[in-house]
Amino acid sequence: MAESYAPGAVVSEVARRHDLAPQHLFAWRKAARAGLLSLPAEDAPFFVPVVSELRPAAGPAAEAATRNAMITISIEIGGAVVRAAAGVDPAWLSDVLRVVKATT
């Protein structure tokens, strides 16, 4: 996210370079402006690898179910994995990540 704030950076290009949908990066920037997320320290990595897993569908009904399934993200911190579903309260997730980071 911090890279997207660099002078001359184009948010959509930064997102695509890191295999993110531009709307995700825009949402994270909005959350940061609202005080729900913070930028990393100067020496911290700006991006971490995002791994997505798609399960093969078996026909049109399965494909529709897959498209409509709730999206989740997994965040690895110090050997712990935190999974968050779409629509999770950003303040709650921030608190959880802060506690996990402090205890690992």
Whether pTM > 0.85 for this model: the answer is: no
- Same domain for 11 and 41: yes
61 occurs within a structural domain: no
63 occurs within a structural domain: no
59 occurs within a structural domain: no
Domains of the chain: total: 2
71: pLDDT strictly greater than 80:
no
Domain that holds residue 81: 71-104
10 occurs within a structural domain: yes
Report which of residues 53 and 100 the model is more confident about: 100
6 occurs within a structural domain: yes
Which string of b and e fits 22-50 if b means at least 16 CB within 10 Å? eeebeebbebbeeeebeeeeeeeeebeee
- The reported pLDDT for the residue numbered 98 is 80
CA distances from 40 to 44, 58, 98 (A): 6, 42, 13
